[in-house]
Chains A and B, each alone.
Chain A
Amino acid sequence: MKDFTYVSPSSIGEVVGLLSENEGCAALLAGGTDLLVQLRNTNSDVDVVIDVKKISQLNDISYDVDNGLSVGAAVPCSQIYQSDIILEKYPIIIDAASIIGGKAIQNRASFGGNVCNSSPSGDAIGAMMALGATCEIVGSNGVRTVPINEFFIAPGKNILMTDEILVALKVPPPKQYSGSGYIRFTPRAEMDIAVAGVGSYLEVDRKSDQILSARIALVAVAPTPVLSTSVAQMLIGNTPIENTIQMAASLAQESISPITDVRGTAAQRKHLIGVLTKRSLNLAVSRVK
């Protein structure tokens, strides 16, 4: 591991300044559960590590009925699953927060970090995509907001410019009669990475029981987590019964062409996406309220 300078600024403005000064040679540190491993294992270009944990704005969870939920980018998973408001309104976020790494990791690892690490297998990403979250980004040119499904480019790559920082993940207030759930498959019960994962969100019409809107996020089966528009379109207008869910699962399988690697085979992933689409849709349906 090469030497680097450690700084811990107290404002986002300072962070943006530091990022601009050290163009491309600075890394942001929240939980560090990915970053420290990367710094140790690779010949990194990082000269400056900017610790963002001292910036209060990045450590807050806030909610109001008009704007919905805001999760600061440095909020660790354990803070997320201790939040009553998230537990009540967005249980899918708890699904993801409670399976990233293991218990010890969850005390440090942040949702913002999971998103910025931009792994195809990011569990936080799957949950946030299903919820239709947006990314609040601050850079030298000010603030911009990007839908999370437009944030990723390739494994480990995203749209953040070298002077930009992800500040928060924003989730709209939950619609009435909506539900969501995230389920992944790992060989081990913890300390593992998704072979495949699916986040599902459904909004149903109370009277007709028809699905009004849906989002299905597929994880670890493409270079980035993806929203399956074909599955979402198929679901809309149907009622969430077994037959519909089976059709959605088959369509999800058809929509992907995963790879074989040391964590799983293409055939296994394709099969699992069907199983997990079913299971996460059933979980989402069970949570509709």
Chain B
Amino acid sequence: MNNSMVSMDKHRSVGTRPERIDAKEKVTGSALFGTDIMMPGMLHGRILRSPHAHARIISINTANAESMSGVFAVVTANDLPEADDMKEKLGESTINYKFLRDNNLASDKVLYVGHAVAALAAETPDIAENALELIEVEYEILDPVLDVRESMSTELKILHEQLRTLGSTNDKSTNVAQHIHHVKGDPSLGFDEADVIIEREFITAPVHQSYLEPHAATATWGKDGNLTIYASTQGAFVTRRQVSQLLQYPMSKIKVIPTEVGGAFGGKNPTYVEVPASLLSYKTAKPVRVVMSREEVILGTGPGSGTSIKVKMGAKKSGKITAAQAELCYEAGAYPGSPVDPGSMAIFAAYDIPNGQIDGYDVLVNKPRVAAYRAPGAPQAAFACEQVIDELASSIAMDGIEFRMMNAASEGTERINGKLHKSIAIKEILGIIDDHPHYNEPIQGPYQGRGVAIGFWDNWGARSSVDINVNSDGTVNLISGSVDLTGSRTTVAMQAADVLEIPLEKVKSSMVDTDSISYADTSAGSRTTMATGKAAVEAAYDVIGKLKLEIASLWNVSIDSIRYANGVFSSNKGKDTNMTFQELAGKLSGQVTGHGNVNVEDWAGAGGGTIVDVEVDPDTGQIKILKCTVIQNAGKAIHPGQVEGQMQGGVVQGIGWALYEGYEYDKNGKVLNANLLDYKLPTALDVPNIDAVIIEKPFPSNPYGARGVGETPIISPAPAIANAVQKALGVRLHRLPMTPSRILEEIGITSE
């Protein structure tokens, strides 16, 4: 019943812009985030972190710290059970529990500066901080490897002796955890057919998601054996699963209560503080809260991958691409699991390429284990591909949009990985760019340039759970297992309200803990409004079905004769054949709960594009963004205001990648900018007004036609800016971030 779309006349809330359900709590400061949790007798946990990028742990002596007054317990990896090698899909990345365990608390080796080595709980944060200095760790310092290309060839600086390359038969120790290989057609023949070939190499820096709220968890291990964790997480169930696995403790005895989340962007899927907090609570029999500092967030949690990407593309003078080849080398950090797989999927996804080859490498380096970051792997890939596309177009003197249009993928296009595209609307997006006033207005002055880029992201579906309870006054309580990162409580409630045909104000929408509802996957992959919305639609239809049963028995008519339209139940049989939802709710003989448990296996990706104008100061190398337009296919914008917010937010982060952000390391692997002064995020003054243009090409398998929208907008800003800088200055930047000092070097004013 629910694979058909909800009829248009039921769109009362959907498509409008109601106030977010969580807005008042958040703007008045009363919403409870991870760091706000306080409990009687609560202790403060702190984590000791490695000062070395690569070292063997010889010994850890915790005796002095344990005997310090005010310290209640110290834990190390010795307090954790052995973990097996089980791998699991987690959001858009894969988790191996042995590695996850060592990343939570290092056992044999430390693999990056900031790697967690021990944790302790004390009466006050200051005692905890001071006690860390009393934990004595003896290290055997090893040479770190920081460069992805060096790491691929080294035989000396090996992070994990036992690691072998997945996808290779070579039985030697290596830092290459995986080699992905896709071929379509005959690439060498394709390049032979080309009139023009462009081959370039690109480098991007590791960048952090930089959520406002640091990682925070408060654990209480009760005397009854039940463990309760308040966590700032994207997925309460995913956190529960990791804690259960790492502690070898039953899921039923672990309750994860998701707090409000102050930003995540993919970075709050892996556990960091939850397990140390739980172990410390177990040892002390008191609640323990662990909150990271900003420095710990930067050093000790997963950023997005730094990469080295080679792209080679060939085209005919007529404009048709004949072949494309990419080598994507992605930093995984200390443990396998870079997003090179989605990066490889994304790199040529917007184009119909007859002959292609993609080689992706997941490469270990002595940096924090990367985590998902909004369209993981795709912004790096687009930075490379979309610049080569631009260069190819200009080398055959063709307009960039016309060139892209001629080669755009569409429904049914076979991708280089062999998969077929569903409807993707790339041509529609290119058409909108081509017609947009921004694209067509003249450039205003010298050293200004306009750039364009497009991007495509596959999104995700997965499992969601929603229950709807009907109250006797006609209101309903909607609970969901999905953490609300982006306003999804509101967008999910809107979809349920429309099926129930009641005003949105009658729906109280909440996210609940893992004891209170069935399993939901993490809020990631741009899936929540789409997939959890689908669960809400199912739950709402379940409610209507059960209410029809109620009313059929009340009126003593057959259920088939009951109609529900415009909020009124009616029957063409018997008397009293009209009753509103509210009236019926007041007469219910029992409880009515609708359930919606879905596993969305058929979902659609989303394409988007960015038009950007820049002005470069040729004396200082400073790039100013003058104007920006972002276009995206939302399928159906459930809440257009929130979709625009996602698009604008994605562009802001994209501007950060393009111009400001990047980890800086010294040769020993020490991070030189582990603070938000020197790790520069764009501020409000660095970002122009961003004009968001939503297009709606519905995806038929979703009840409203919705597609995921959260990730796509971060993909195209960096290449669009690079393309604009090329127009403004005549030089092309192959490296992110495009800082003023790099611009000065590029135009030959300074050289380093």
Contacts and interface: CB of A to CB of B under 8 A. Distances in A.
A271 B620 CA distance: 8
Contacts of B660: 187-188
A270 B751 CA distance: 12
Contacts of B750: 265, 267-268, 270-271
B683 A189 contact: yes
A190 B687 CA distance: 11
Interface string B671-685: 011000110101111
A211 interface: no
B126 A188 contact: no
B161 interface: no
B622 A187 contact: yes
A273 to B, nearest CB: 11
B673 A188 contact: no
A264 B741 contact: yes
Interface residue SS majority, chain B: loop
B108 interface: no
Contacts of A188: 660, 680, 682-683, 685-686
Contacts of B622: 185, 187
B126 A3 contact: yes
B752 interface: yes
B746 interface: no
Interface in A1-32: 1-3
A262 interface: yes
Interface in A255-276: 262-265, 267-268, 270-272, 275
A190 B684 CA distance: 9
Contacts of B744: 267-268, 271
A185 B750 CA distance: 16
A191 interface: yes
Interface string A188-232: 111111010000000000000000000000000000000000000
B678 A262 contact: yes
A268 B684 CA distance: 26
B166 interface: no
Interface string B653-689: 0000001100010000000110001101011111000
Interface string A162-203: 000000000000000000000001011111110100000000
Contact of B683 (A1, A191, A264, A268): A191
B680 to A, nearest CB: 6
B417 interface: no
B741 to A, nearest CB: 4
A187 B680 contact: yes
B740 interface: yes
A102 interface: yes
B435 interface: no
B271 to A, nearest CB: 26
B126 A268 contact: no
Interface residues of A, number: 23
Nearest to A40: B293
B9 interface: no
Interface in B728-748: 739-741, 744
B752 A265 contact: yes
B171 interface: no
Interface in A98-132: 102
B560 interface: no
Given A262-B664, A267-B751, A272-B620, A190 B685 contact: yes
A264 to B, nearest CB: 6
Contact of A271 (B126, B129, B749): B749
B291 to A, nearest CB: 14
A275 B621 CA distance: 11
A3 B130 CA distance: 12
Given A1-B126, A187-B622, A188-B682, A193 B741 contact: no
Contact of A267 (B126, B130, B752): B752
Contacts of B685: 188-190
Contacts of B678: 262-263
Contacts of A264: 741
A267 B748 CA distance: 11
Contact of A2 (B126, B664, B673, B739): B126
A1, A188, A193, A272: residue with the most chain B Cβ atoms closer than 10 Å? A188
Contacts of A268: 621, 740-741, 744, 750
Interface in B702-752: 739-741, 744, 749-752
The winner among B621, B673, B739 for most chain A CB atoms within 10 A is B621
Residue with the greatest number of chain A CB neighbours at <10 A, chosen from B620, B678, B749:
B620
Given A185-B620, A272-B620, A192 B680 contact: yes
A190 B744 CA distance: 21
Contacts of B620: 185, 272, 275
Nearest to B124: A3
Nearest to B741: A268
Contacts of A262: 664, 672-673, 678
B673 to A, nearest CB: 5
A263 B751 CA distance: 16
Contacts of B25: none
Contacts of A270: 750
A239 B619 CA distance: 24
A172 to B, nearest CB: 32
Nearest to A196: B620
Contacts of B677: 191-193
A139 B686 CA distance: 44
Contacts of A267: 744, 750-752
A190 to B, nearest CB: 5
A185 B740 CA distance: 10
**Which of B660, B664, B750 counts the most chain A CB atoms within 10 A?**
B750
A278 B185 CA distance: 59
Most chain B CB atoms below 10 A, which of A189, A190, A195:
A189
A43 to B, nearest CB: 9
A199 B659 CA distance: 27
A268 B622 CA distance: 12
A193 B675 CA distance: 13
Contacts of B751: 267
A272 B621 CA distance: 10
A183 B628 CA distance: 28
Interface string A63-81: 0000000000000000000
B655 to A, nearest CB: 11
Contacts of B619: 275
A265 B664 contact: no
A129 B273 CA distance: 49
A157 B178 CA distance: 52
B466 to A, nearest CB: 40
A267 B749 CA distance: 9
30 contacts: A1-B129, A2-B126, A3-B126, A102-B683, A185-B620, A185-B740, A187-B659, A187-B680, A187-B739, A188-B682, A188-B685, A190-B684, A190-B685, A191-B683, A192-B677, A192-B680, A195-B740, A262-B664, A262-B672, A263-B678, A264-B741, A265-B752, A267-B751, A267-B752, A268-B740, A268-B744, A270-B750, A271-B750, A272-B620, A275-B619
Closest 4 CB pairs of A and B: A189-B685, A267-B750, A262-B672, A268-B741
Given A102-B683, A190-B685, 12 more contacts: A188-B660, A188-B680, A188-B685, A189-B686, A190-B683, A192-B677, A264-B741, A265-B750, A267-B751, A267-B752, A268-B740, A272-B620
